[in-house]
Amino acid sequence: MKEKEKTNWLLTILLSVIAVFVILGPLYITVVIALKSPSDMEHILALPTSLHLENFSMAWKLTDYPRKFLNTFFITSINLVFTILTNSMAAYAIIRNKDKSRFFNLMYYYFISAMFIPFNVIMLPLVKQASAFHLDNIYGITLIYIIFGLPMNTFLYSGYIKSLPVALEEAAKIDGADTFQTFWSIIFPLLKPMSATVAILSFMWTWNDFLMPLVLLSDASQQTLQLAQYVFKGQFSTQYNLAFASYLMVLLPVLAVYVFCQKWIIAGVTSGSVKA
Amino acid sequence: MKMKKMLAVGLTCSLAAMLAAGCSDSGKTSGKSSDSGVTHLEFFSSKMENVSTMQKLVDKFNSQNTDVQITLNSPADAGTVLKTRMTKDDLPDIIAYGGDNIYTELTEAGILLDLSDQEVLKTINDSYMQMVYDINGDKAEKAYGIPFAANASGVIYNTDLFQKAGVTIPETWDEFIAACEKLSAAGIQPFELSFKDSWTILPSWNSLAPATQPEGFLDAKKEGTATFLGTHEEVLEKYSKLVNYAQTDFMGTSYDDGNRSFANGEAAMLINGVWAVPEIKKTNESINLDMFAYPASNDKSKNKVVSGIDVMLMVTNQCKNPEAAKRFVAFMLEPENSQLYINEQFAFSPVEGVVQEDASVAGLAKDIADGKVTDFVDHYYPNGYNLSAILSEFFLNKANGMDESENIAATLKKCDEQYDILNTR
Amino acid sequence: MNKHRNNHISPAFYLMVVPVAALFFLLHTVPFLKGIFYSFTNWKGYGNWEFIGFKNFLQFFKDPSIKQAYGFTFQFALSATVLVNVLSLALACGLNGKIRGKNLLKALYFLPYMLGTLIIGFVFNFIFGNIIPGFGKMAGIPGLSVNILGTSKAWLGVLFVTVWQSMAFNTMIYLSGLQTVDKDIYDAASVDGAVGLQRFIKITFPLIAPFFTINMVLSVKSFLMAFDQIMAMTGGGPGTATTTISMLIYKRGFDGGQFAYQSANAVILFLVVASISVFQLKILEKREAKVN
């Protein structure tokens, strides 16, 4: 007996109204203020009298946006690629041998337990360590992100790989494939959903991260977009219109990615968690 | 499928390559290398307000000295950044910082070069050099830093609004309160306070404390023979009274919003230092303002201008080319350049003969020239002492209606507790 | 049962793990161990230092600012966890209902997650300071006529923003959990007369228990370490009213020259977070097992 597909209009309207005011409200404010001039600020919430696009060009110049964008883009994309490649491989090795070998079992708990170590505990000594190894720059921080992803990603990937039937790998072995080949040609493609989740989580983490760049990247030319906002706030916070234009320019790439990949992103987050 | 295996190997190699690249690249960006005869030095500046002026001077030096190129680095939260870098053993070559307890820390850490032999010292006003000696770690008479600019803290006031209400500049505490009453009666808000940025709570303390605390308190406190409790009640009582003449949301107004309100004529007075003047003028260039010394006491002789070293120039021992660094320091202190700085930043110059003539700070210029100055007391508190947080809580309690004497006692007790913890480390 | 199992592990597996594990040891574990070591010294981060044994830890238990930071952090984490999870669950149920434009609404409600805590903090900082007071004055509500971030209720402002942003992720997790519940179960339940809230408590909730577990553990862990939004909105103030443990470690550790002392603080934080998470997992997994 199929239930009639009756739309619950009350719920729909309620959810829509809340979404508009609570979610879109702050965004509206951000956009509107970014487009205004100081004299328009009398009636804060009203639409700007004219579009002051010069706020954006000034903020672009003052925060050295192109350079910071490139820095952040470099860090985020390199991290994404290498994280997925290396972390999935490590998780595979661990989960397939965990029950056979003390070493891999140890590795499993070693990585997972590290998830509970708050960043603050290692922050101060990490700073010293990183500079001793000349890692307090873009390349170093990228490496650190890749490595620091291991705890969470081992957890996520191993949960997923556990559910993959061993039969596939055994078949590959019979066909003469060695371990690496088995991983890359059979397992890795099957990891797509989880890789999507890991990709999104990594991207969000590195793009929006503030604390690690704050303590590791002292050179202004190497700083990230988020860090630049913090710096900017100190220098130009009297000029809200400039500041908001700057914030908007940092939000726009993420929003663009979201608009195009939104279904894929949400699916990745939800399906990944189900399998985990 | 050998390709996939090669991919794995390739990955490890590229990771290693990145590491190697990181090693070589960081050398270049730290600014300490010299290539083909040109010395690159990093000039670390702590203040955000003077970035544009500093850049002008740096550009001028760079154009006049092709063998030495200076790069200006002026990050936010400079104190934290500098300490982080000290942890990393990655010191800048030249540092511009205030003459406060961080400078004292730097001298104690032994990382600053002694500049006592520099010619340029002869041009510096004695009273400012004395301040330097007073804040040196062991009070040694050595110039680990050279004063570049002095500031002044007092009361910034809107001359038009004062005229409108018929108020003259108060010279004693009682006159100060009377002036507030007169302003209120004329429908003008006397003060605009911005306690959301808790550091702005300090200027009043820095003016009230030296005028009312017992002689030699700062040293006695360090030695543990004096306490805030029992000596600083008057400071908080007076401060509390003053705050009654400010806007309702003084706890929630930020430094920038406060400056903006003042610039737009919404209040007659702002309690802060000369560094706020450029910020105010950014919002309203045509505002008519001046400053007067904070009349903390009814004893006129005790009311001095609080003036400290706003910017000191130091050279660190990690600098690979100290001679070049010293040349830059001497350049900055040339009268022409010092004048440029103080004109744009409304500061005062420690260089003899360089006079601050701007009308906006004329009220203080005479006192400073006469030597009627006293240093910031919070420069003598231990490093890491979070007085602004303690005072912020005092005012939060006040806003919540806590009994005044209870509040004062609890706050001063806290002042002592926190001081003692830091003093023993 | 094949007793002669081939326990030979291909060396390739070692190659997959050892290099990254080595780097992990170097960049994560070593700093962690060093941090623990430093907590037994009086190092300022630079200059000279000496070994002082358990002095830092003794001071830790006497220090009122530590007590305040821990107290506030727990209060904040608890409130945030409860609010976020209750609201997320409610929202997920709503989004799971028969509504139009489901995909658009899902996309909208997930948006806050993408935006990054720092900038959102700055935006709301402005809203609380310049927009809300205006409304409060118009509506005649004294509590809202001032910047809430300057009052003793500042933490509510921070809480609001944290919930605003954190709900997105948890909602999607709950939603995917709800979608794993077979519709037939609901049909069977309604035949038996169970509807609405009853149905939710007795049927839906137990079935989504694993998702509840994930959300709770992740929530508590991340709220105990709140930092970004506080940096952006109150800087730990007014006074120290909104100083979390992370803020304390950052500010005092770097700024206040209390590197070693704050390392001790961080070590204790680790023990706290680890034990709470493990404890939670044990309890919640027991519940899951009972349900199944």
pLDDT at A156 over 90: no
pLDDT score of C138:
83
The residue among B347, B369, B391 that closes a domain is B369
Domain at C50-291, CATH homologous superfamily: MetI-like (1.10.3720.10)
Residue of A nearest to B50 (CA): A235
B386 alpha carbon, distance to own chain's centre: 15
Residue B178 sits in the same domain as residue B327: no
Both tokens of B357, joined, read: 């003539």
pLDDT score of A237:
60
Residue of C nearest to B397 (CA): C152
| pLDDT tens digits for range A46-65 | 787 788 888 888 888 878 88
| pLDDT top residue among C283 and A78 | A78
Quick one: which of A264, A209, A205, A210 has its CA closest to A83?
A205
Residue B38 sits in the same domain as residue B120: yes
Quick one: which of A213, A187, A94, B296 has its CA closest to C15?
A94
pLDDT at C77 over 80: yes
Whole-number average pLDDT of chain A: 84
pLDDT at C262 over 80: yes
When pLDDT is averaged across residues B137-158 and rounded to a whole number, the result is 90
pLDDT at B35 over 60: no
Predicted complex ipTM exceeds 0.90: no
| pLDDT tens digits for range B151-200 | 889 999 999 999 999 999 999 999 999 999 999 999 999 999 999 888 89
Amino acid, res. A92:
Y
- Written in H, E and C, the secondary structure of chain B is CHHHHHHHHHHHHHHHHHHHHHHHHHHHHCCCCEECCEEEEEEEECCCCCHHHHHHHHHHHHHHCCCEEEEEECCCCHHHHHHHHHHHCCCCCEEEECCCHHHHHHHHCCCECCCCCCHHHHHECHHHHHHHHHHCCCCCCCCCCEEEEECCEEEEEEHHHHHHHCCCCCCCHHHHHHHHHHHHHCCCCCECCCCCCHHHHHHHHHHHHHHHCCCCHHHHHHHCCCCCCCCCHHHHHHHHHHHCCECCCCCCCCHHHHHHHHHCCCCCEEEEECCHHHHHHHHCCCCCEEEECCCCCCCHHHCCEECCEEEEEEEECCCCCHHHHHHHHHHHCCHHHHHHHHHHHCCECCECCCCCCCHHHHHHHHHHHCCCEECCHHHCCCCCCCHHHHHHHHHHHHHCCCCHHHHHHHHHHHHHHHHHHHHHC
pLDDT score of C107:
87
Q: What is the DSSP string of C114-170?
A: HT-HHHHHHHHHHIIIIIHHHHHHHHT-GGGSS-GGGSTTHHHHHHHHHHHHHHHHH
pLDDT score of A35:
87
| pLDDT top residue among C195 and B79 | B79
Query: Assign residue B124 a region: left if phi > 0, alpha if psi is -120 to 50, beta otherwise?
Result: beta
Residues of C in contact with A121 (CB under 8 A): 32, 35, 263, 266-267, 269-270
pLDDT at C203 over 80: no
The DSSP symbol for C190 reads: H
pLDDT at B5 over 50: no
How many angstroms separate the CA of residue B372 from the nearest CA in chain A?
32
User: What's the maximum distance between 2 C-alpha atoms anywhere in chain C?
Assistant: 82
Whole-number average pLDDT of chain B: 85
Beta strands in chain C (DSSP E): none
The DSSP symbol for C252 reads: I
* Phi, psi torsion values for B137, nearest 5 degrees: -50, -50
When pLDDT is averaged across residues C36-42 and rounded to a whole number, the result is 87
Query: CA B306, CA B153: separation in Å to the nearest integer?
Result: 5
pLDDT score of C3:
42
pTM for this entry: 0.80
Query: CA A217, CA A214: separation in Å to the nearest integer?
Result: 6
pLDDT score of A41:
73
Structural domain contains residue B5? no
pLDDT score of A73:
93
CA dist B135 → B109, B129, B164, B270 (Å): 14, 10, 43, 28
Residue B89 sits in the same domain as residue B190: no
Q: Which domains are seen in chain A, by residue range?
A: 9-52 (no CATH), 63-275 (1.10.3720.10)
pLDDT at C185 over 80: no
When pLDDT is averaged across residues B341-350 and rounded to a whole number, the result is 89
pLDDT score of B25:
39
Quick one: which of A237, A202, A254 has its CA closest to A69?
A254
The residue among B369, B391, B410 that closes a domain is B369
Query: CA C174, CA A273: separation in Å to the nearest integer?
Result: 10
Within 10 Å of residue A267's Cβ, how many Cβ atoms? Answer: 17
Q: Do B88 and A131 touch (CB under 8 A)?
A: yes
A268-272, B291-295, C251-255, C280-284: which range is least confident on average? A268-272
pLDDT score of B27:
38
pLDDT at B113 over 80: yes
pLDDT score of B323:
92
Structural domain contains residue B29? no
β-strand partners of B246: B191
Both tokens of B192, joined, read: 């605009």
Query: CA C46, CA C39: separation in Å to the nearest integer?
Result: 15
Query: CA B55, CA B109: separation in Å to the nearest integer?
Result: 29
When pLDDT is averaged across residues C222-245 and rounded to a whole number, the result is 85
pLDDT score of A219:
74
pLDDT at C143 over 50: yes
Q: Do B19 and A184 touch (CB under 8 A)?
A: no
pLDDT score of B215:
86
pLDDT score of B247:
92
| pLDDT tens digits for range B42-67 | 999 998 778 889 999 999 999 999 89
Q: Do A230 and B8 touch (CB under 8 A)?
A: no
Both tokens of C121, joined, read: 């903090």
Contact C66, C282 (CB under 8 A): no
pLDDT band at A193 (very low <50, low <70, confident <90, very high): confident
When divided into structural domains, chain B yields a total of: 2
**CB-nearest partner of B48 from A177, A221, A234:** A234
How many angstroms separate the CA of residue B79 from the nearest CA in chain C?
7
Q: Do B196 and C129 touch (CB under 8 A)?
A: yes
Contact B153, B273 (CB under 8 A): yes
pLDDT at A160 over 60: yes
Three-state SS for C41? Answer: strand
pLDDT at B267 over 90: yes
The DSSP symbol for A185 reads: I
Contact B368, B149 (CB under 8 A): no
**CA-based R_g, chain A, Å:** 23
Structural domain contains residue B290? yes
| pLDDT top residue among B29 and C269 | C269
Query: CA C50, CA C37: separation in Å to the nearest integer?
Result: 11
pLDDT score of B15:
53
Residues of C in contact with A94 (CB under 8 A): 17
pLDDT band at B19 (very low <50, low <70, confident <90, very high): very low
Residue B109 sits in the same domain as residue B137: yes
pLDDT score of A162:
82
Three-state SS for A41? Answer: helix
When pLDDT is averaged across residues A243-259 and rounded to a whole number, the result is 87
Residue B212 sits in the same domain as residue B322: no
Quick one: which of B355, B375, B363 has its CA closest to B308?
B375
pLDDT score of A274:
58
pLDDT score of B20:
46
Structural domain contains residue B218? yes
pLDDT score of A217:
84
Residue of A nearest to B256 (CA): A238
CATH number at residue B204: 3.40.190.10
Residue B52 sits in the same domain as residue B81: yes
Range of the structural domain that residue B226 is part of? 153-306+381-424
Structural domain contains residue B15? no
Above pLDDT 90, what percent of chain B? 44
pLDDT score of B357:
85
Residue B137 sits in the same domain as residue B161: no
When pLDDT is averaged across residues B12-22 and rounded to a whole number, the result is 49
pLDDT score of B21:
43
Both tokens of A206, joined, read: 């590195």
**CB-nearest partner of A226 from C94, C116, C187:** C116
Q: Do C15 and B83 touch (CB under 8 A)?
A: no
Quick one: which of C219, C236, C68, C65 has its CA closest to C155?
C236
Amino acid, res. A12:
T
pLDDT score of A232:
73
Structural domain contains residue B298? yes
Q: Which candidate in B196, B199, B254, B318 is best for mutational testing of the C interface (most C CBs within 10 A)?
A: B196
Residue B283 sits in the same domain as residue B395: yes
Query: CA C240, CA C108: separation in Å to the nearest integer?
Result: 35
pLDDT at B6 over 60: no
The highest-confidence range among A138-147, B30-39, C143-152, by mean pLDDT, is A138-147
pLDDT band at A4 (very low <50, low <70, confident <90, very high): low
CA dist B149 → B52, B335, B340, B363, C23 (Å): 15, 12, 11, 18, 48
pLDDT at C117 over 50: yes
Residue B59 sits in the same domain as residue B190: no
Q: Which candidate in B7, B392, B420, B422 is best for mutational testing of the C interface (most C CBs within 10 A)?
A: B392
| pLDDT top residue among B24 and C166 | C166
Query: CA B126, CA B351: separation in Å to the nearest integer?
Result: 10
Q: Do A180 and B4 touch (CB under 8 A)?
A: yes
Query: Is residue B89 within 8 angstroms of chain C, CB to CB?
Result: yes
Chains that touch B (3 or more CB pairs under 8 A): A, C
